[in-house]
């Protein structure tokens, strides 16, 4: 039995297999519509979510399975003081697989250590979000036809953005990726993630100036400033609009730039960009359902 807590638990061959499977599901959805008949997914969400929870639930329904769970800690026995370990043991009595989101780093790992069914980390604090990373990799592959030889810009809150940390770790295993890290000084990439780049001798630049690096980017991965992780509201208000992508900012961008964002967006991408053919963030949302279908099949060992 296998869980997924960190994207690095999947090697590049397995990631390619998941991407291939997701592409086959997209091309042949009927073939997969009964694969999880009789199986149940438990979505245990202790923190708000729209895309991750709904895409997991849609994924299981489209595989012919069923879904149970809760969408906030207050409606579970966590509100009465139940531990993560006991919640995981209890859920193992009712479901076949768990998707868990939690504000505390490491909570899904504790669940996996205590559950008797696979646990998928659906986002833990500022730490990891492996299924968003699979979504991002599928999107990059579908847009660019490759996962190597790319210049990838990450812009915004690189300190607290768990999707950034997971995607940098994942991309660090592919050939000739150049990382361009754009953020205010206070929201720079944490040193433990930068260590991965240094350890693997990967090329990266850090800057506060998005416009100066725009022409070289193949991918621009915008992120929201994570209000919920700030200790001080004043700092959030000062930093929240550090980067706003407006149409004129794209004048120097490549014609085939892929603009990505894990969403939710607050103010960092103007809605006028949505109709630009380079905007990929709603394609990402849809890809998230297909890659989660592929992952559920893998972890449930469904042929
Ligand atoms: N990308 C993402 O995790 O979105 P949600 O918080 O809406 O699940």
DSSP per-residue string spanning 124-188: ETTTB-HHHHHHHHHHHHHHHS-SSSEEEEEES-TTT-HHHHHHHHHHTTSTTEEEEEE--GGGP
Q: Is residue 170 part of a domain?
A: yes
Q: What is the mean pLDDT of residues 224-245?
A: 83
Q: Are residues 163 and 230 in the same domain?
A: yes
Ligand 1 pocket check for 263: Cβ under 6 Å: yes
Number of domains in the chain: 2
* Contacts for 134 with CB less than 8 Å, ≥ 6 apart: 7, 10, 15, 18, 291, 292, 295
Ligand 1 pocket check for 161: Cβ under 6 Å: no
Of the chain, the end-to-end C-alpha distance in Å amounts to: 15
Q: Are residues 125 and 136 in the same domain?
A: no
pLDDT for 256 equals: 98
Q: Is residue 2 part of a domain?
A: no
- Contact call for residues 42 and 95 (beta carbons, < 8 A): yes
User: 101 an active-site residue?
Assistant: yes
User: 13 an active-site residue?
Assistant: no
Atom of ligand 1 nearest to the CA of 129: 3
Position of tokens 């099949």?
Answer: 297
Q: Which of 44, 46, 52, 289 for mutating ligand 1's site (highest number of atoms within 8 Å of CB)?
A: 52
Q: Are residues 71 and 152 in the same domain?
A: no
pLDDT for 279 equals: 98
269 pLDDT more than 80: yes
- CA dihedral (52, 57, 58, 62) positive or negative: positive
User: 51 an active-site residue?
Assistant: yes
Give, as one character, the DSSP assignment of residue 4: B
- pLDDT band at residue 294 using 50, 70 and 90 as cut-offs: very high
Q: 15-70 pLDDT, tens per residue?
A: 999 999 999 999 999 999 999 999 999 999 999 999 999 999 999 999 999 999 99
Q: How far is CA 22 from CA 60, 115, 132, 204, in A?
A: 14, 27, 14, 30
Q: Which of 43, 132, 165 for mutating ligand 1's site (highest number of atoms within 8 Å of CB)?
A: 132
Q: Are residues 96 and 57 in the same domain?
A: yes
Q: Which of 3, 70, 69, 64 has its CA nearest to residue 39? A: 64
Q: Which domain holds residue 12?
A: 7-129+288-299
Q: Are residues 253 and 192 in the same domain?
A: yes
Q: Are residues 32 and 161 in the same domain?
A: no
Q: Is residue 1 part of a domain?
A: no
231 pLDDT more than 80: no
Q: Are residues 216 and 251 in the same domain?
A: yes
Q: Residue 36, SS3?
A: coil
Q: Are residues 118 and 205 in the same domain?
A: no
DSSP 3-state percent helix, strand, coil across the chain (nearest 5): 45, 15, 35
pLDDT for 126 equals: 80
Q: Are residues 237 and 294 in the same domain?
A: no
Q: What is the mean pLDDT of residues 213-229?
A: 92
Q: Is residue 167 part of a domain?
A: yes
Q: Are residues 150 and 220 in the same domain?
A: yes
**Cα–Cα distance, 44 to 26 (Å, whole number):** 27
- pLDDT band at residue 235 using 50, 70 and 90 as cut-offs: confident
Q: Please name every residue paired with 153 in a beta bridge, in sequence order, or none if there are none.
A: 180, 220
Q: Which of 267, 258, 187, 188 has its CA nearest to residue 224? A: 267
**Cα–Cα distance, 156 to 181 (Å, whole number):** 9
Q: Are residues 74 and 145 in the same domain?
A: no
Q: Please name every residue paired with 147 in a beta bridge, in sequence order, or none if there are none.
A: none
Q: Are residues 138 and 61 in the same domain?
A: no
Q: What is the CATH number of the domain that holds 25?
A: 3.40.50.1370
Position of tokens 């208000």?
Answer: 237
Ligand 1 pocket check for 49: Cβ under 6 Å: yes
Q: Is residue 121 part of a domain?
A: yes
Q: 144-179 pLDDT, tens per residue?
A: 999 999 999 999 999 988 899 999 999 999 999 999
């Amino acid at each position: 039995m296998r869980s997924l807590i960190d994207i690095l638990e999947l090697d590049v061959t397995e990631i390619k297999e998941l991407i291939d499977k997701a592409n086959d599901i997209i091309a042949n959805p009927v073939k997969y519509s009964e694969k999880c008949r009789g199986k149940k997914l438990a979505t245990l969400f202790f923190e708000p979510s729209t895309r991750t929870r709904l895409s997991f639930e849609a994924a299981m329904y489209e595989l012919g399975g069923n879904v149970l769970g809760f969408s906030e800690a207050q409606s579970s026995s966590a509100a009465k003081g139940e531990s993560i370990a006991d919640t995981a043991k209890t859920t193992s009595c009712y479901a076949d697989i768990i998707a868990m989101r939690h504000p505390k780093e490491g909570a899904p790992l504790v669940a996996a250590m205590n559950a008797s069914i696979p646990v998928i980390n659906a986002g833990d604090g500022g730490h990891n979000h492996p299924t968003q990373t699979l979504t991002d990799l599928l999107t990059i592959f579908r847009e660019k036809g490759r996962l190597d030889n790319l210049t990838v810009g990450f812009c915004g809150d690189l300190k607290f953005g768990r999707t950034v940390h997971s995607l940098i770790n994942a991309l660090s295993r592919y050939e000739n990726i150049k990382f361009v890290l754009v953020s205010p000084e206070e929201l720079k990439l944490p040193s433990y993630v930068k260590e991965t780049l240094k350890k693997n001798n990967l090329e990266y630049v850090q800057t506060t100036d998005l416009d100066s690096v725009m022409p070289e980017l193949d991918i621009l991965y915008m992120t929201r400033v994570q209000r919920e992780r700030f200790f001080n509201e004043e700092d959030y208000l000062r930093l929240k609009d550090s980067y706003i992508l407006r149409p004129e900012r794209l004048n120097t961008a490549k014609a085939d730039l892929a603009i990505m964002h894990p969403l939710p967006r607050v103010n960092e991408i103007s809605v006028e960009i949505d109709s630009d053919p380079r905007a990929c963030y709603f394609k990402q949302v849809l890809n998230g359902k297909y890659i989660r279908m592929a992952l559920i099949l893998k972890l449930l060992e469904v042929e």
